[in-house]
Structure 1
Amino acid sequence: MRNTRRHSLLRTAAVSALAGSVLLIPATAALADGRGPEPLPAQAAAKPAPATLTAKASVSHVRAWQELRITGKATGLKAGSKVTLQQKQRGAWKALPASTVVNKSGSYGLRVKLGIKGKNELRVAAGATVSPVVTVTVN
């Protein structure tokens, strides 16, 4: 009796071990076909929101070489990122010698003097991110 009981226990352990390995085979096969397990929604890679810039001129009209301020907000850019004022000249955007950095709250402000009379189209750029156009008329 003793040997029969021992043999029965060993057989139960062997069946349990086989059952465990049989359960693992389908999971291994699913990984071997190159598809892998489907990611859970929480594991899906979240794309960062695109960076944006706003720009606002302190005035819409100035005299030539009168100082004005351009202020705005940056989202998706790190504090300390450089923003540069650009002016449209002869159909192309040209960087002006006016730049600053984004502060911790995402804001920026810079002072500029414009000398080209007429409507000046301005924007702020940080790499490929640009603000909407702001128009300032210089008399």
Structure 2
Amino acid sequence: MIVSKRNSLRLAAVATLGVLSLGLAGTAVAATPTVSASAASAGQQAAAHATITAKPSVTSVRAWEDFHVTGTTTGLKAGSTVTLQQKQHGKWVSLPASVRTAHNGSYALRVKLGIKGLNELRIVSGATASPVFTVTVR
């Protein structure tokens, strides 16, 4: 009988702690500020409308040979910085090749690549990225 009394007390203590923790969690959720749906959707729409295009001047080059990447941006401020990224070992790595966009959103970037083989590249500005394009370095 003593064992079952202890179990009952433990169960009551656990149930009480559970109710208290749920009450505290409910209070914490109620105290957090909420973002209005219109403000959240406006931020998402602005990010959704930003685009970057990218077109390389060649599809194949020798190692360290110059080529150009040109394109346009929409939804980004004039003078925004666009940077070239290369996929290396499954991760996007920013290369030391960047330029500011013109007042009309266009850009032209001079590039040299040294990693031989098929290089996957893209242009990024903040969270906005262009479609992936490839250049083969021989």
**Under TM normalisation by the shorter chain, which class is it?**
0.5 to 0.7
Aligned ranges 1:43-62 → 2 under 5 Å: 47-48=45-46, 50-62=49-61
Aligned ranges 1:54-73 → 2 under 5 Å: 54-73=53-72
| Residue 112 (structure 2) pairs with residue 110 (structure 1) | no
Instruction: State, as a whole percentage, how many aligned pairs show the same letter.
Output: 65
Structure whose CA Rg is larger: 1
What stretches of structure 2 of length at least 5 have no aligned partner?
1-41
**Inter-partner Cα distance in structure 2 for 1:90 and 1:136:** 16
Runs of 4+ in structure 1 deviating by more than 6 angstroms, as ranges, are none
Aligned ranges 1:80-99 → 2 under 5 Å: 80-99=79-98
Query: Cα distance, 1:105 vs. partner?
Result: 1.0
**Inter-partner Cα distance in structure 1 for 2:81 and 2:104:** 14
Look up the SS of the partner of 2:71 in the other structure.
strand
Query: Cα distance, 1:63 vs. partner?
Result: 0.3
Partner deviation per Cα, 1:9-55 (whole Å, 9 max, x = no partner): xxxxxxxxxxxxxxxxxxxxxxxxxxxxxxxxxxxx7x546200000
What stretches of structure 1 of length at least 5 have no aligned partner?
1-44
TM-score for the superposition, normalised by structure 2: 0.66
Higher helix share: 2
Letter of the 2:116 partner, please give it: K
Tell me the residue number matched to 2:121.
122
- How many residues in Structure 1 have an aligned counterpart in Structure 2? 95
Look up the SS of the partner of 1:80 in the other structure.
coil
